[in-house]
A and B are shown apart, each in its own frame.
Chain A
Amino acid sequence: MFESIDMSLVDWSRGQFALTAMFHWVFVPLTLGLSFIVAFMHTIYFRTGQEEWKKMTKFWMKLFGINFAIGVATGIILEFEFGTNWSNYSWFVGDIFGTPLAVEGIFAFFLESTFIAIMFFGWNKVSKRFHLAASWLTAFGANLSAVWILVANSWMQNPVGTVFNPLTARNEMTSFWDVALSETAVIKFLHTITSSFLLASIFVIGVSAWFLLKNREVLFARRSTIIAGVFGVLAALVTILTGDSSARDIARTQPMKLAAIEGLFDGQTRAPLLAIGALRRDATKMPDGNEKFIFKIGFPGVLSYMVHLDTDGFVPGISDLVYGNEEQGILSYEERIERGSVAIQTLKEMKRAKDRGDEVTYAAMAEKFSDPKWVEDYFQHFGFGYFKKADLDDLIPNVKLNFYSFHIMVILGVHFLILSAIALWLAMRNRWGNHKWLLWIALLSIPLPWIASQAGWVVAELGRQPWVVYELMPTIAAVTRLDAGAVQLTFWIFTLTFSALFIAEIKIMLSQIKKGPGGH
Chain B
Amino acid sequence: MVKRIFMFYYDGFRSMTWGRPLWLIILVKLFIMFFILKIFFFPDILRKNFRSDAERSDHVLEQLTNP
List chain A positions with a Cβ less than 8 A from chain B. Answer: 1-2, 4-5, 62, 65-66, 69-70, 72-74, 76-77, 80-81, 83-84, 87-88, 90-92, 117, 120-121, 125-126, 167-170, 344, 347-348, 351, 386, 476-477, 480-482, 486, 489-490, 493, 497, 501, 504, 508, 512, 520
Contacts and interface: CB of A to CB of B under 8 A. Distances in A.
8 contacts: A72-B26, A73-B29, A80-B38, A83-B45, A87-B44, A91-B56, A120-B12, A344-B64
Interface in B12-62: 12, 17-19, 21-23, 25-26, 29-30, 32-33, 37-38, 41-47, 53, 56-58, 60-62
B44 A76 contact: no
Contact of A477 (B8, B41, B45, B67): B67
B6 interface: no
Interface of B: 8-9, 11-12, 17-19, 21-23, 25-26, 29-30, 32-33, 37-38, 41-47, 53, 56-58, 60-67
Contact of A348 (B45, B58, B60, B66): B66
B21 to A, nearest CB: 7
Contact of B53 (A168, A476, A481): A168
Contacts of B60: 87-88, 91-92, 169
Contacts of A87: 44-46, 60
User: Which 3 pairs of residues, A with B, have the shortest CB-CB distance?
Assistant: A121-B12, A80-B42, A83-B44
B59 to A, nearest CB: 8
Contacts of A121: 8-9, 11-12
B66 A69 contact: no
Nearest to B57: A168
A78 B8 CA distance: 34
A493 B41 contact: yes
B47 A83 contact: yes
B37 A80 contact: yes
Contacts of A126: 8
Contact of A501 (B21, B25, B37, B42): B25
A520 B42 CA distance: 40
A351 B45 CA distance: 22
Contacts of B29: 73-74, 501
Classify the secondary structure of A's interface with B.
helix
Given A73-B30, A117-B12, A497-B32, 11 more contacts: A5-B67, A69-B26, A73-B29, A83-B47, A84-B42, A92-B64, A167-B57, A348-B66, A351-B58, A477-B63, A501-B29
A508 B12 CA distance: 20
B21 A508 contact: yes
B10 to A, nearest CB: 10
Contacts of B18: 62, 66, 508, 512, 520
A351 B46 contact: no
Contacts of A168: 53, 57
Contact of A169 (B41, B44, B61): B61
A347 B65 contact: yes
A347 B61 contact: yes
A77 B33 contact: yes
Nearest to B19: A65
Contacts of B67: 1-2, 4-5, 386, 476-477
A172 to B, nearest CB: 12
Given A120-B12, A520-B18, A69 B33 contact: no
B57 A77 contact: no
A490 B56 CA distance: 25
Contacts of A90: 46
A13 to B, nearest CB: 12
A375 B64 CA distance: 17
Contacts of A477: 63-64, 67
A120 B65 contact: no
Contacts of A169: 57, 60-61, 64
Contacts of A74: 29
Nearest to B47: A83
Contacts of B30: 73
Given A2-B67, A501-B25, A84 B61 contact: no
A504 B29 CA distance: 12
Contacts of B42: 80-81, 83-84, 490
Contacts of A4: 67
